[in-house]
């Protein structure tokens, strides 16, 4: 059992996925409403198994001779991804019911995706990472186009799939070139090879292709083109899932690959990441402004956040120590929590039909549902980075580490981009509070307490993170280096 | 000689004892405020809201329980004088050397303040229940009042500057809310704004002082500040002391920030009693007493405190001579008495200053509540010229006000005599003979205008139009208790120079030390000085009796000369501020409103936003939905990155 425990977090979701599939076939029609409940329990078990596995192999954490590692980093992501999946399943059950879609496959796909994401968080080998990334991508392609009768969903899924395949090909090609140069796909062997060997064109091309492949997956400008279409086509819970869990998982991969495998090549990729960061921050924020569709706007906003995170990755390279990693994790945490809250609320609001697509559909929400509007406003304020909300501290810590890496220009652009973001985030708040309810407005069909609770919890967490940042940092694994650094830094 | 030779340093930390009941003392009124605040919202939405009876019960429960708790906490301290209650609340921030830990402490100083504030606060809550009966915003009033009490308790119980500042701002806000309580009346709302703005001036100094003090000592908590005060630079410390003093001047209505307090009489009268006499305005004195180690180390600023206190005392007392509004007389007398307190703490006689705070709270609360009872009985008539002969109509009020007038005039054995004389004696003892003279003159003026008020209200025959109705029980009870206090609390601090037991100084000895043993020479001198002040006070009373004792017809108008004109103009502070400060600011505001904002700021931002929007639209056209184009972008991006990458790091590749 002890030998098997470390593999539990990755294999349990597969098992639950299969169980859900079987239940979907054999359970009588009347009992199928139980499927989401079973799934939610399953995700909780996955999270628990992640903690148990971490405890079982601590403190070293390496298993399979270093192919996989269960450290605080992977534990952080395992828990974050489980939470995001949990909330996605919760909102998805309402959406599936409304559109009369089959539940079992949807939930099973989420489980398979979760398995891939957990593998991403703990793998240390390029091939394993590639396989994990493909598991995630395949599941998400299908999830985006899950509603087969919906033209937009088909379009989004198809675009995503084709472009994604292209990016995967680039990524795989890059891995092949690297293998040709290093003769290994293990991250730490790549690292040790390049710390003794000179940089060579073959490996350089491989590194660049890997970077571009990953940049596509996190939707960095100019490789972002798929994301607004895919976000728009997908149903609200899936859009939320892509914006939170999938994005976090790919960042888990990106930070691991760049920070562990390619750290000895850091001087070579820092400029590339910096260019991507600048393009992404500016592109995301500028394009978000003219969007009228709320999902597309959130897609661009999520691209903008990718840009901020990429600046943090340059700090990861230029500044020794773990605080840049911690600052990135903290930013991801706040970003994921805020997005989850927003998407939970939007899922509920669009539960009558998918008509809630335009920002103007939110008009009058402040009067009609004051608590929901308040929670949403709080989360958007956090996105902007208004103190004392969590988003402010997330940005502050992240930019601080970038500043410490002497990337003054990047911080300047990031601050400018944050200022630009005020315009479109505040527009939503303004629409909610200052415009009267639209005439054709239809009240949501249901009023699930659970989604309200999700919004409430997320808003509270963001508030708490801002009001007692120290307290908050203490709670989450993997954030301790940031806390320690903050306590000894002289920059404050 | 300003330095206190025997002033003790910090209390030994071993005597700190944890007690979380302390949190409850602060939280109870705040909880009341929250409940009543929500109740007010509920009332606003429902025609038949929460009844006044329920509001009264909720509103008075918090203060009452807090009073009980205060006594429960105080008694063990009396048994074991080394005991100090302490309750750490939370670490608010902990970033490197910047650490803010909030906590509450009940030491001898805050203990005595706590008793006074909870006790008087509760009585005023009770009185308010009767006074505010039938007001449209009954529950809002009690919500504010509870919030005020909670803030005040936070102010005095905090063991650090940050918590104190929170309470400080809290009482400031409540003061604003309560002065402008009847905000439909523009003048009253304006008075609230005036108080708020003048306090802001003081708060600016105060918060700068806090920051500088932190920079110098690296601590926010009083114990830490006191421990590091010796290491501060000699140039900085007077500046810090001065900035903190600016805050105290604002809150305690001293020259030049005193002009808000008389206007604050626009609020309901019990508010004037609680906030503008008994508690909030004493916060400035409390601050100086709390940071006594700062002022002991900066004699020049301490001297400034005496000067400001003396001038304020004398000026306010002289303005009070010509006021006809009963509340205005009391307001100026408050300013004047606060000046006394400042003289006391400035002279290093912290115990004496705090003792005057303590006694003054009783008789001033009684005076204001008495005035409230009169105003209530006379259907909101506040003009002294339309009163008279109320002795028989309002017997309890009459009695309470009589003893309070005697107390404030400084007639033995009433409370004010002991505390005022303690201050005067300290001034003389430390060689401030001029200020002693100012204090003595003020005492005479005080006796005169207070008894002018007394005789105009209670003596002679009734000159008003309305039929007076007697005060209800809920008014009699607080008035009686406060009147009793005005008679008795003075005995807590009998002059030690005469060899009498001075419990008050002894109680505060852990903070300020127990000075002087009595020697025969001082005994004689002190007796002479006491006699002098009693004589001056007696003369004031007699003069008032002669002029206003038995007025049956019209009250004689004041002679019109330069002096009365000056007094009526209140020494011109208001008009000076109007022309020198308000005018220019309003002009600047108009300029901003009409030119700067619409043209310079809005124009610039609009242009920026327009550019942003146009740019966004341009970029948007790139994303037109065609998959082939998207794939091109991908490859194009790859090429650009590859080019940059190879040019930077492997330029040789291009030469091959």
Instruction: Determine contact: B627 vs chain A, CB below 8 A.
Output: yes
**Do B540 and B446 touch, CB atoms closer than 8 A?**
yes
Partner residue facing B616 (CB), from A162, A166, A287: A287
Instruction: Determine contact: B613 vs chain A, CB below 8 A.
Output: yes
Cα separation of A120 and A255, whole Å? 11
Q: Which residue of B has its CA nearest to A221?
A: B637
Cα separation of A325 and A322, whole Å? 5
In whole angstroms, how far apart are CA B594 and each of A73, B463, B581, B591, B608? 56, 52, 20, 5, 21
Query: In b/e form, how buried is each residue of A51-71, taking b as 16+ CB within 10 angstroms?
Result: eebbebbeeebebeeebbbbb
Q: What is the 3-state secondary structure (H, E, C) of B218-264?
A: CCCEHHHHHHHHHHCCCCHHHHHHHHHHHHHHHHCCCCCCCCHHHHH
Confidence of residue A355 (pLDDT cuts 50, 70, 90): low
Query: In b/e form, how buried is each residue of B73-98, taking b as 16+ CB within 10 angstroms?
Result: bbeebeeeeebbbbbebeebbbeeee
Q: Omega into A209 within 30° of 0, i.e. cis?
A: no
Q: End-to-end CA distance of chain B, in Å?
A: 91
Indicate yes or no: pTM above 0.80: no
Q: How far is A21 from chain B (nearest CA, A)?
A: 34
Instruction: Determine contact: B633 vs chain A, CB below 8 A.
Output: yes
Q: Which residue of B has its CA nearest to A397?
A: B95
Q: What is the pLDDT of residues A213-268, one digit of tens each?
A: 999 999 998 899 999 999 999 999 999 999 999 999 999 999 999 988 888 888 88
Residues 6+ apart with CB under 8 A from A166: B631, B634
Of B134, B437, B428, give the one whose Cα is nearest residue B310.
B437
Q: Which residue of A has its CA nearest to B650?
A: A201
Q: Which two tokens stand for residue B34?
A: 């929250």
Structural domain range at position A392: 5-488
Best of A207, A289, A303, A425 to disrupt the B interface (most B CBs within 10 Å) is A289
Instruction: Determine contact: B618 vs chain A, CB below 8 A.
Output: no
Q: How far is B409 from chain A (nearest CA, A)?
A: 51
Cα separation of A339 and A306, whole Å? 13
Instruction: Determine contact: B643 vs chain A, CB below 8 A.
Output: no
B522-525 long-range contacts (CB < 8 A, ≥24 apart) are B522/B429, B522/B497, B523/B497, B523/B498, B523/B499, B525/B428
For residue B11, what pLDDT is reported? 46
Cα separation of B106 and B78, whole Å? 12
Flag if A201 and B641 touch (Cβ within 8 Å): no
Cα separation of A228 and B619, whole Å? 14
Q: What is the DSSP letter of B411?
A: -
Flag if B641 and A275 touch (Cβ within 8 Å): yes
Which phi and psi angles does B301 have, rounded to 5°?
-70, -35
Hey, which residues 462-521 in chain B have their CB within 8 Å of chain A?
none
Lowest mean pLDDT, pick from A260-269, A346-355, A401-410, B293-302: A346-355
Cα separation of B151 and A361, whole Å? 43
Chain A residues in contact with B615 (beta carbon < 8 A): 286
* Chain A residues with at least one Cβ partner in B under 8 Å: 158-159, 162-163, 166-167, 170, 199, 201, 204-205, 208-209, 211-212, 216, 222-223, 225-226, 228-229, 267-268, 271-272, 275-276, 283, 286-290, 420, 423, 468-470, 486-490, 492
Whether the pLDDT of residue A180 is over 60: the answer is yes
Q: Which residue has the tokens 């888990």?
A: A252
For residue B1, what pLDDT is reported? 30
Chain B residues in contact with A205 (beta carbon < 8 A): 642
Q: How far is B102 from chain A (nearest CA, A)?
A: 13
Give the largest Cα separation in chain A, rounded: 69
Q: Which two tokens stand for residue B588?
A: 């600047």
Partner residue facing B616 (CB), from A205, A222, A289: A289
pLDDT above 70 coverage of chain A, percent: 95
| Cα-trace Rg, chain A | 21
Flag if B612 and A272 touch (Cβ within 8 Å): no
Flag if A290 and B620 touch (Cβ within 8 Å): yes
Of B331, B189, B155, give the one whose Cα is nearest residue B259.
B331
Chain B residues in contact with A492 (beta carbon < 8 A): 95-96, 98
Partner residue facing A226 (CB), from B96, B630, B641: B630
Chain B residues in contact with A212 (beta carbon < 8 A): 634, 637-638, 641
Q: What is the DSSP letter of A125?
A: B
Flag if B641 and A228 touch (Cβ within 8 Å): no
Cα separation of B437 and B450, whole Å? 20
Flag if B95 and A486 touch (Cβ within 8 Å): yes
Over residues A4-22, mean pLDDT: 92
Instruction: Determine contact: B611 vs chain A, CB below 8 A.
Output: no
Q: How far is B16 from chain A (nearest CA, A)?
A: 26
For residue A492, what pLDDT is reported? 35
Q: Which residue of B has its CA nearest to A469?
A: B93
Cα separation of A69 and A62, whole Å? 4
Query: How many pairs of residues across A and B have Cβ atoms under 8 Å apart?
Result: 99
Strand order from edge to edge, sheet including B16-18? B16-18, B84-95, B98-106
Flag if A223 and B633 touch (Cβ within 8 Å): yes
Neighbours of B466 (CB within 10 A): 12
Q: How far is B635 from chain A (nearest CA, A)?
A: 9
Q: How many domains does chain A have?
A: 1
Chain B residues in contact with A287 (beta carbon < 8 A): 616, 619-620, 623
Cα separation of B529 and B510, whole Å? 28
In whole angstroms, how far apart are CA A224 and each of A159, A211, A248, A306, B405? 12, 14, 16, 10, 81
Instruction: Determine contact: B639 vs chain A, CB below 8 A.
Output: no
Average pLDDT of every residue of chain A: 88
Q: Which two tokens stand for residue B421?
A: 């004389």
Chain B residues in contact with A229 (beta carbon < 8 A): 625
Flag if A492 and B98 touch (Cβ within 8 Å): yes
Residues 6+ apart with CB under 8 A from A245: A80, A81, A84, A85, A88, A113, A114, A117, A336
Which phi and psi angles does B94 have, rounded to 5°?
-150, 85
Q: Which two tokens stand for residue B482?
A: 């406060």
Whether the pLDDT of residue A192 is over 80: the answer is yes
Cα separation of A341 and A376, whole Å? 8
Q: End-to-end CA distance of chain A, in Å?
A: 48
Flag if A487 and B95 touch (Cβ within 8 Å): yes
Flag if B630 and A159 touch (Cβ within 8 Å): yes
Chain A residues in contact with B645 (beta carbon < 8 A): 204, 208, 268, 271-272
Partner residue facing B634 (CB), from A216, A272, A490: A216
A157 vs A489, more confident: A157
Flag if A287 and B650 touch (Cβ within 8 Å): no
Q: Which residue has the tokens 């406060």?
A: B482
Flag if B645 and A204 touch (Cβ within 8 Å): yes
Flag if B623 and A225 touch (Cβ within 8 Å): yes
Neighbours of A178 (CB within 10 A): 26
| Cα-trace Rg, chain B | 30
Partner residue facing A223 (CB), from B625, B629, B634: B634
Neighbours of A158 (CB within 10 A): 17
Q: How far is A285 from chain B (nearest CA, A)?
A: 9
Cα separation of B151 and B164, whole Å? 9
The predicted complex's ipTM stands at: 0.85
Q: Which residues of chain B have pLDDT under 70?
A: 1-15, 48, 96, 515-518, 653-656
Of B78, B104, B102, B77, give the one whose Cα is nearest residue B92.
B102
Of B386, B262, B273, B280, give the one whose Cα is nearest residue B316.
B262
For residue B6, what pLDDT is reported? 39
Task: Classify A232 as helix, strand or coil.
Answer: helix
Q: What is the pLDDT of residues A314-330, one digit of tens each?
A: 998 887 667 888 889 99
**Do B313 and B445 touch, CB atoms closer than 8 A?**
no
Q: How far is A211 from chain B (nearest CA, A)?
A: 10
Q: What is the 3-state secondary structure (H, E, C) of B41-62?
A: HHHHHCCCCCCHHHHHHHHHHH
Of B285, B292, B286, B295, give the one whose Cα is nearest residue B335.
B285
Chain A residues in contact with B91 (beta carbon < 8 A): 470
Chain A residues in contact with B90 (beta carbon < 8 A): 468
Task: Classify A290 as helix, strand or coil.
Answer: coil
Flag if B637 and A283 touch (Cβ within 8 Å): no
Residues 6+ apart with CB under 8 A from B345: B285, B288, B289, B292, B295, B305, B353, B354
Q: What is the 3-state secondary structure (H, E, C) of B487-501?
A: HHHHHHECCHHHCCC
């Amino acid at each position: 059992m002890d030998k098997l425990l470390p593999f539990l977090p990755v294999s349990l979701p597969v098992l639950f996925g299969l169980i859900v599939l079987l239940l979907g076939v054999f359970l009588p029609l009347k009992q199928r409403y139980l499927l989401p409940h079973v799934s939610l329990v399953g995700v909780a078990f996955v999270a628990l198994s992640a903690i148990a596995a971490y405890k079982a192999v601590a403190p070293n954490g390496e298993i399979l001779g270093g192919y996989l590692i269960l450290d605080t980093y992977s534990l952080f992501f395992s828990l974050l991804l489980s939470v995001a999946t949990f909330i996605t399943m919760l909102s998805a059950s309402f959406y599936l019911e409304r559109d009369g879609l089959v539940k079992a496959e949807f939930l099973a796909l989420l489980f398979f995706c979760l398995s891939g994401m957990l593998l991403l968080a703990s793998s240390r080998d390029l091939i394993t990472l590639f396989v994990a990334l493909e598991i995630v991508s395949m599941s998400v392609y299908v999830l985006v186009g899950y509603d087969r009768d919906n033209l937009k969903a088909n379009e989004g899924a198809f675009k995503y799939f084709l472009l994604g395949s292209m990016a995967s090909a680039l990524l795989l090609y890059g891995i092949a070139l690297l293998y040709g140069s290093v003769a290994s796909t293990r991250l730490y062997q790549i690292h040790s090879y390049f710390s003794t060997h000179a940089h060579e064109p073959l490996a350089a091309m491989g590194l660049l292709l890997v970077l571009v492949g990953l940049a596509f997956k996190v939707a960095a400008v100019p490789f972002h083109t798929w994301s607004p279409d895919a976000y728009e086509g997908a149903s609200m819970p899936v859009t939320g899932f892509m914006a939170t869990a999938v994005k976090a998982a790919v960042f888990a991969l990106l930070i691991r690959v760049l920070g562990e495998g390619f750290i000895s090549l850091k001087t070579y990729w820092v400029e590339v990441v910096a260019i991507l960061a600048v393009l992404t921050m500016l592109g995301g924020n500028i394009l978000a402004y003219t969007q009228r569709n709320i999902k597309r706007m959130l897609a661009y906003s999520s691209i903008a956040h990718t840009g901020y995170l990429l600046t943090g990755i340059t700090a990861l390279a230029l500044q020794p120590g773990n605080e840049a990693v911690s600052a990135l994790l903290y930013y991801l945490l706040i970003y994921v929590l805020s997005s989850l809250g927003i998407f939970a609320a939007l899922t509920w609001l669009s539960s009558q039909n998918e008509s809630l697509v335009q920002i103007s559909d939110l008009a009058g929400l402040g009067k009609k549902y004051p608590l929901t509007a308040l929670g949403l406003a709080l989360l958007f304020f956090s996105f902007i980075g208004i103190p004392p909300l969590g988003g402010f501290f997330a940005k502050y810590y992240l930019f601080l580490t970038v500043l410490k890496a002497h990337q003054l220009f990047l911080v300047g652009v990031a601050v400018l981009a944050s200022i630009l973001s005020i315009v479109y985030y505040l527009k939503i708040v303004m629409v909610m509070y200052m415009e009267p309810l639209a005439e054709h407005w239809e009240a949501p069909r249901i009023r699930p307490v659970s989604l309200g609770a999700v919004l409430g919890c997320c808003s509270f967490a963001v508030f708490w993170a801002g009001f007692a940042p120290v307290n908050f940092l203490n709670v989450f694994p993997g954030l301790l280096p940031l806390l320690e650094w903050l306590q000894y830094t002289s920059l404050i | 000689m300003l330095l206190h030779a025997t002033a003790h340093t910090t209390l030994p930390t071993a005597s700190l004892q944890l007690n979380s009941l302390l949190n409850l003392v602060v939280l109870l009124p705040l909880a009341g405020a929250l409940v009543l605040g929500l109740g007010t919202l509920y009332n606003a939405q429902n025609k038949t809201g929460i009844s006044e009876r329920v509001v009264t019960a909720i509103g008075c429960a918090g203060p009452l329980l807090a009073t009980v708790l205060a006594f429960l906490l105080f008694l063990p301290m009396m048994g074991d004088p080394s005991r100090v209650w302490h309750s750490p609340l939370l670490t608010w921030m902990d970033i490197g050397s910047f650490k803010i830990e909030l906590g509450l402490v009940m030491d001898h100083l805050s203990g005595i303040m706590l008793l006074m504030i909870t006790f008087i606060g509760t009585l005023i809550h009770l009185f308010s229940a009767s006074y505010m009966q039938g007001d449209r915003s009954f529950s809002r009033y009690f919500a504010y009042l509870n919030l005020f009490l909670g803030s005040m308790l936070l102010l005095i119980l905090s063991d650090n500057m940050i918590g104190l500042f929170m309470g400080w701002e809290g009482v400031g806000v409540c003061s604003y809310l309560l002065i402008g309580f009847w905000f439909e009346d523009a003048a009253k709302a304006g008075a609230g704004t005036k108080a708020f703005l003048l306090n802001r001036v003081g708060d600016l100094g105060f918060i700068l002082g806090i920051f500088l003090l932190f920079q110098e000592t690296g601590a926010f908590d009083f114990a830490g500040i006191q421990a590091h005060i010796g290491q501060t630079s000699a140039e900085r410390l007077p500046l810090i002391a001065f900035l903190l003093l600016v805050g105290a001047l604002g809150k305690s209505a001293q020259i030049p920030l005193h002009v808000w307090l008389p206007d604050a009489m626009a609020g309901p009268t019990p508010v004037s009693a609680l906030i503008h006499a008994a508690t909030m305005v004493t916060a400035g004195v409390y601050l100086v007493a709390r940071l006594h180690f700062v002022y002991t180390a900066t004699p020049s600023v301490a001297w400034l405190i005496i000067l400001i206190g003396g001038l304020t005392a004398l000026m306010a007392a002289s303005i009070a001579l010509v006021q006809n509004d009963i509340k205005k007389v009391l307001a100026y007398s408050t300013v004047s008495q606060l000046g006394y307190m400042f003289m006391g703490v400035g002279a290093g006689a912290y115990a004496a200053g705090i003792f005057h705070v303590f006694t003054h709270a009783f008789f001033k609360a009684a005076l204001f509540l008495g005035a409230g009872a009169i105003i209530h009985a006379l259907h909101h008539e506040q003009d002294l010229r339309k009163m008279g002969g109320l002795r028989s109509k309002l017997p309890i009020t009459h009695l309470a006000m009589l003893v309070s007038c005697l107390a404030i005039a400084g007639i033995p054995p009433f409370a004010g005599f002991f505390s005022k004389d303690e201050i005067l004696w300290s001034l003389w003892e430390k060689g401030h003979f001029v200020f002693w003279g100012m204090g003595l003159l003020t005492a005479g003026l005080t006796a005169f205008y207070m008894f002018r008020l007394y005789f105009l209200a209670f003596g002679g025959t009734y000159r008003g139009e309305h039929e007076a109705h007697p005060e209800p029980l809920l008014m009699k009870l607080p008035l009686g208790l406060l009147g009793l206090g005005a008679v008795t609390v003075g005995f807590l601090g009998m002059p030690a120079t005469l060899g009498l037991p001075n419990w008050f100084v002894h109680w505060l000895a852990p903070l300020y030390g127990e000075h002087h043993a009595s020697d025969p020479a001082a005994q004689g001198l002190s007796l002479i000085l006491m006699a002098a002040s009693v004589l001056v006070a007696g003369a004031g009373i007699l003069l008032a009796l002669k002029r206003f004792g038995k007025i049956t017809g019209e009250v004689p108008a004041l002679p019109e000369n330069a002096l009365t004109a000056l007094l009526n103009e209140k020494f011109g502070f208001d008009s000076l501020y109007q022309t020198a400060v308000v005018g220019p600011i309003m002009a600047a505001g108009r300029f901003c409103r009409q030119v700067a904002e619409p043209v310079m700021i809005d124009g610039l931002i609009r242009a920026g936003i327009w550019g942003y929007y146009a740019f966004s639209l341009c970029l948007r056209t790139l994303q037109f939905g065609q998959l082939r184009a998207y794939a091109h972008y991908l490859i194009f991006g790859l090429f650009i990155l590859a080019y940059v990458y190879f040019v930077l790091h492997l330029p040789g590749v291009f030469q091959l």
